[in-house]
Each structure stands twice: as structure tokens, then as C-alpha cells.
A and B are shown apart, each in its own frame.
Chain A
């Protein structure tokens, strides 16, 4: 089992999609939302995912395929 902290960003056309619910339904992943902000144009959620590492990897690939942006928790870690 492993845990991963990530940030999802939903652009306008995806704000109403229940992506996190579906992530928990389609994959053996427990989703634990810690902070979020949802506006009319964009929304973001920071959450912890709990599950087997390969399952989390597959789950995040699926989330990305929906058009939701998946990023490390604290913003980009690559620096100039």
C-alpha cells in the first residue's frame, strides 16, 4: 500500500464532472480531500490517494485522460 498527495485542476468544462467519485469507483483507491476551491471557471482539489502504487498510477493516468490536470502537491518542483 502507498499514499500519494496530488493536486487536480479542473478547467471550466470539467468542473461539474464527478471525477474524484469515479476515481474511487473505477480503481481500488481511497480518496481523501484536504483542501479545495471551486469557481465558475476553474477548480482545484488537493487530496491524498491511498492504495497499491500500481493502482494509484493507473488511476492517475485515467484522471489525466479525462482532461483533469494532475500535479505534485506543492506546485512544480523543477526550478529555473
Chain B
């Protein structure tokens, strides 16, 4: 069962029952899930987690949906790899890659959508919807196929064909909207008010976002029930960034980390910072859409929306819903935020592929280039335990790296091969 007390406004603190709501009726602030941690602490342990399935649902007691019959295509429990090649290149001896590009629909979105879809069915919805520029569309369509419910997926009409196919193959109702980014955004927001559907990142958002906590849980578990010194994370809305932090702190407060006794969550579950969580949170955004990094680096307390213009489409959220909360996480953790130059994105993709054999999408290129900046600047020391999150698969954005295709062209003869091969050497 889900151990929930209800929903609570992050701004004014008003409480609401467990319903498909995302905005406080009084102050229009965002709603967050409130857990019954007292009960959770009685049922969850390292052993109970370790006995669970090899998916995010091994943490079912810490998620806001029933975990007994989830909509599960086996999202999560992705590999945590010691990055010897990339680490050697960057001068980092203790670097790990959380490779979330190998989720069933090839991005971390499977984590959040699995939770949102499970919750949507609990609420009795028969249609699950989203507006997406790629990864979310694929994940929603895939989970709906698994659950046997209708998916309605809105995409901008100029979306790359590879991403459309990745969603269309699951046979959702695919709606291509001919309009600007802002127009698509506004339309979908209005549709969410008018149609009795579960929009995963609108009326399901308090539940949906919690799925990203599992990125924190898994890293701590895979490191042997401890937290890293640094995490390097790509960011769009800021939600995943804040939830990784929340996940690490939940584990500490519940006594799930080795050598760390359980402790109180205090008055606000969403801002708790356990002293054992010494992880510095480093956010990476692409320069062409970096409202949170810009705010952080100019000491602004507010995040000014921007119109996205970035190669990293999956990070291109100009008006990030959790931007202000992400700034607070950076501050509390002693972390940083960086706007990666657009020209460095492809370099990051290639660096990861050539040193680790992992092909990531443009968001991963942002993350790896941001990691390089942190290493070069000395913000991460050579022996610091560091985890870099790779959240999407390179097969989704192949057009970004087409220039790597430069084969040696030969005639069908040994002599032709040897002359060209020798020249290439």
C-alpha cells in the first residue's frame, strides 16, 4: 500500500486529500505528496528493498502509488558503472556513471511515468496524456500499451521523425500541433482543464515527479548504502534534480544508509537536509535554455523564463516549474549550476561514447561536458566519489552526431583495404 497522508502546498502549506490535483486552490502554489514516514520506517529496510523486484518498484514503500500491481515495464535499477575510461580522461579516480539510457523506452522518463500511470489507474482514469518533445511521449505511449489504456500524446509538428516513431510504435493517439512552443504549451495546459484525462505532468504531477527519487535511492544502494560526494545531473524543469536530493535525504532520515541512524523529517518533508547527506548537487543545462543556471550564477532568487533555442531538446524547458526549488537545493547542498556552451554538447556525447562505450542523447552530452568543466575547474577533486547521470539514449538524437559517420571507403580487394588502412593510421 501507499503510505500517504495527502498533498500539501509548497508555498502556503494548505493540505489536500490524495486526489489528481497539482495546484493549491488558495495561492496557486504547487502541491507535493506528504508521506506517513512513521509507518514507512516500520516496514522499510535495506533487506526489504533488496528483496524487491529489479525495477523502481523495489522502493514501493517510498512511492506514492500502490506497488502491488504497478504499471511496470521494468523501469529503473539501471547499471551504475565505474567509469575508468572517462575518469582517466578527466582526472577523476572515483567516477561512476548512472546509465539510465537503458530504461525500457530509453530514458529516465520511464521512472516517473510508471508511477504516474499506476496512480492514474488507481484514480480510475482510462486515458493518460502528455505534451512532449520526445522522451516523455515514448514513455507514456509504452506504459499505456502495457496497461491497456488509451494514450493521448501531443507533440510539436516540427519534432524529429526518430522521436515520433519512438512514440508512434506503441499506437497512442498522436496529436501533432502546428504552432510555436508557447502555443503548444498553452493549448495543452487548457486541454488539461477541459478533459477528464490523467495528464502525467499536470494533474498527476505531484505523483509523477516522485518517480525521480528512485535515481537517488538506486545510486545510494548500488554504492553500498552510502551517498556520493558529488552528483552531476542534467536539468530541464528542475524536478528530477530536486527529487534526487529528496531521495538521498529520505534514505538518510529513514536510517537506510550504512552507519546513519534514522532521524526526524522535521516540519517540512520537502526541504529536509540530513547532515549525513554531504552530496554536492551540480546542475547542468544547455546554454540555449539555461534559466536556472543563469539565475544561480547571477545570484537571482527568481528564475526568469526564456524561449528555448538549444540542440538539447529534451532539456529545453524555458519556464521550469521547479526552478526556484532547484536553486534552493543547489544552495543547501553547496553545489553549482553551469550553462554548457551549445558547441560543447556533441563533444560531450562523443567523449562518453569513445571512453565508456555509452551512446547518449544530447542531454547526456550536456551532462558530460558539464562534468568536464567541474573536473577542469577543480570543483571535483580527483578522489571524490562522483556520480554522473546519463538520462537518455543516443539513438533518439542521431541527427546531432551525423558527422561521425566517416568510413574508410575501399574497393573489394585486400590491396585497396591495406592502402587505405595504412593511410588512415
A34 within 8 A of B: yes
Say whether A39 contacts B301, CB under 8 Å: yes
In A45-80, the 8 Å CB interface with B consists of 46, 48, 69, 71-80
Chain A's nearest CB lies how many Å from the CB of B31? 10
Say whether B130 contacts A35, CB under 8 Å: no
In B180-216, the 8 Å CB interface with A consists of 181-182, 184-186, 188-190, 192, 199, 201-202, 205
- By beta carbon, the residue of chain B nearest A53 is B190
**Whole-angstrom distance between the alpha carbons of A35 and B323 in the complex?**
17
Say whether B318 contacts A76, CB under 8 Å: yes
Say whether B130 contacts A73, CB under 8 Å: no
- Interface-facing stretch out of B133-141, B167-175, B350-358: B133-141
**Whole-angstrom distance between the alpha carbons of A38 and B297 in the complex?**
19
Place the interface of chain B in its size category: 35 or more
Q: Given A78-B132, A80-B315, A80-B316, does the pair A11, B304 have CB atoms closer than 8 Å? A: yes
Q: Given A5-B28, A72-B189, does the pair A79, B302 have CB atoms closer than 8 Å? A: no
Say whether A35 contacts B27, CB under 8 Å: yes
Q: Given A11-B304, A71-B305, A73-B28, does the pair A79, B322 have CB atoms closer than 8 Å? A: no
- By beta carbon, the residue of chain B nearest A41 is B300
Residues of B within 8 A of A39 (CB): 300-302
**Whole-angstrom distance between the alpha carbons of A8 and B321 in the complex?**
14
**Whole-angstrom distance between the alpha carbons of A18 and B11 in the complex?**
25
Say whether A75 contacts B317, CB under 8 Å: yes
A9 within 8 A of B: yes
B280 within 8 A of A: no
Say whether A77 contacts B26, CB under 8 Å: no
In A1-25, the 8 Å CB interface with B consists of 4-5, 7, 9, 11
- By beta carbon, the residue of chain B nearest A5 is B28
- By beta carbon, the residue of chain A nearest B12 is A35
Residues of A within 8 A of B135 (CB): 79-80
Say whether A77 contacts B202, CB under 8 Å: yes
Say whether A75 contacts B322, CB under 8 Å: yes
In B40-56, the 8 Å CB interface with A consists of none
Partner of B23, one of A71, A73, A80: A73
**Whole-angstrom distance between the alpha carbons of A10 and B346 in the complex?**
35
Say whether A79 contacts B23, CB under 8 Å: no
Say whether A80 contacts B22, CB under 8 Å: no
- By beta carbon, the residue of chain B nearest A39 is B302
**Whole-angstrom distance between the alpha carbons of A74 and B29 in the complex?**
8
Residues of A within 8 A of B28 (CB): 5, 34-35, 46, 48, 73
**Whole-angstrom distance between the alpha carbons of A72 and B300 in the complex?**
22
Say whether B305 contacts A9, CB under 8 Å: yes
Residues of B that sit less than 8 Å from A by CB: 11, 22-23, 26-30, 109, 130-136, 156, 181-182, 184-186, 188-190, 192, 199, 201-202, 205, 236-237, 300-302, 304-305, 313-323, 363
Q: What 6 A-B pairs are tightest by C-beta distance, nearest first?
A: A75-B321, A80-B314, A72-B189, A79-B136, A78-B131, A34-B28
